[in-house]
Structure 1
Amino acid sequence: MGITAMIPGTTIDGLLTEAGERWHDIFDAEALRMQVMLICPRKERKILEMHGDMVEHGQPVIGVFHRPRAEARLLEEQGLNPRDASFEFLDLATTDLGPWMQHMITNEKWVRGSISIQPVPFSVDVPAQRAFENIPMICFRHPSLPAIERYYLPFPPTSIPNKCFVSLPRRQAAELARQQAEILGVGRAAEPATPEPVVVEESAESATVPPQSPETNTVEAAEVTIPEQESVPLPVIETKSPNGPQSVTEAITKATTDGFEEMQAAGDELEEANVPLPTTDVTIDVEQAAPEPAEEPQTEIEIEFRALVTELMANGVEPSDMVDDPRWEPINERAAAVGFETWPVFMELTSVQ
């Protein structure tokens, strides 16, 4: 099984360039890699993001999603509504393609085909784009979606800037992935190594203690003066009896006997009056809880995103259908521009119901 990490603001080419530094021995630069395209129902995109957690693979698998915007009408002309689907480009080792797609093809009956990745025509108003040669690519699509022959991009698939979802082999890279990016799956943290004790070697000079002469250690008895202890007389315990003073033992015995008799007499009076004994309130001092850290103020884009999700839930819109709202995409684009992650807030709000 793998462990999935989300790395924002990068491309497949950028991650492949840094693969040796990021993943060290986990990434084999000599392994043959390939790119494929996946088309799934839009409501199943989150499952596709975490697909690597359920698949055993040997090399890092990098995926990036693309959302058609101005070029959406070019897909509608081929009979596919872009609002119904999510489009992912994968870069993976050829040996990992079979295990990666096995469950989808065997159980969900995904269909394998081919597609031509083409640059967006200049007639379409796309502010930033780069020309590239048509790229034939293997395409896997969910059976509920119609087939298309062409898909249009402003950049080559490996140069699309977006969030990249990287799945690393769990047994080799759980801790490494946790250090590199935000962990989306559940990993097992490695136990911290026990620090070795540091042995400080003292210099021979500091370790050598100069011997003291016996004259300095000898103290003459005449020089030491021991103060005499003054005796303090014990107080005499007086008594009202004509017999004179008592001994200490007799005084303690008498005081104990008198106190017990007084307590017994007081108890008899309470029983006669049938007065309930007062209950003593026991006050337990509880340490005051440490003040909770002040919550960070919400940004304007977070307030707007929360308001949108709350409004859609109040209108009875299912979480999987919220992406169809025309306000959804602009808010997410602005959030990505300022580095605000909408997915944790979305899960927080939708999980309340």
Structure 2
Amino acid sequence: MTIGQLTTEAVSRWGEIWDEKAARMLVLLMCPRKERKIMELHGDMVEHGQPVLTVFHRPRQEAQLLEKQGFNPRDASFQFVDLSSPDLGPWMQHLITNEHWLRSSIEIVSVPFSMNLPSQRSFETQRILCFRHPSLPALEKYYLPFPPNSIPGKCFVSLPRRQAAELARQQAEVLGVGRLEKKPTITEIPASQKPTPIVTSEAADPAANMDDMMDGFSSNMLAEMTNDTELQEQENVALPPSTPPVVEQKPVAEHAFIPLPPGAAPKQDNIPEPVEETPDEAAMIPASESIPIPEVEPEPEPEMSEIEKEFRELVTGLLAAGVQPSDMMDDPRWDSITERASAAGFETWPVFLELAAME
């Protein structure tokens, strides 16, 4: 595929995206060989309005012509770019601003016939713009065995986004560079497919057509006369007498109630009404005098055991003799009585505290 072939098939390939009247130009880009892959995808990072067509060329037998100019062809990759003139700025902006590419012009010259190349085809010398990486030296002439638009190889096409294409068309119309016009497609129909006029029986027999028209006119007249007669009969039919509507009368009250103003209402004292007791209720309430009050009987005191009586007498006697509670345990009778109380199950300590507190 070549750039020339893509340009010829552009309308069928891309339709409205391709503007035939847009001004296009061809430029040569010279980049280091290691950056060729980046240049193949350069169109994906650029907003442009028209399709951009690119192709790489590698000098072979004509490489010696470049070496005579002091340029090593193995150091660079040569890319021919066919693009719209308004897209040149966006296409080269990043390369010139960030990577400091250099701009110049170069002559594209046909290879001399003395080299006897088998696929050689002469063309006129043309000077085009050339952009090169700052690491590459300048080149005055670039030799090709055939025109730049006929370089065979793998072409890379970068299609614009729809918004960018619309913007580019608007700019082109404002600048008058190119206008996108849809071409009307005219298709010729062969004679075998042309429709043939259909001849009806009415056109073939005009006399029969006239008779049918007269019969239809007579039938229409009879139908209209019948409809008029039916309408007149409907108008002469007497309508039933209309009865007056019955109006319902609301009953009138004999005595009308007239509300008094708020201040005119008679004041009534809130006097509680006496409540009369019925004989049954009076009989159910007993008199307070007839209720007998039960007498409170004192609880019988529990009987003391003999050991408790003996312990109480001992403690009471010692307290009466002036012995202190803390000194009572020194009495010889204390040990004997406490042992017998423990054997009988009597707790002496609570009784001792009770008697000591009463003193």
TM-score normalised to the size of structure 2? 0.45
Q: Compare relative contact order (CA 8 Å, sep 6+) and give the higher one, 1 or 2.
A: 1
Q: Which protein has the bigger helix share? A: 2
Q: Which protein has the bigger strand share? A: 1
TM-score normalised to the size of structure 1? 0.46
Which structure is larger by alpha-carbon Rg, 1 or 2? 2
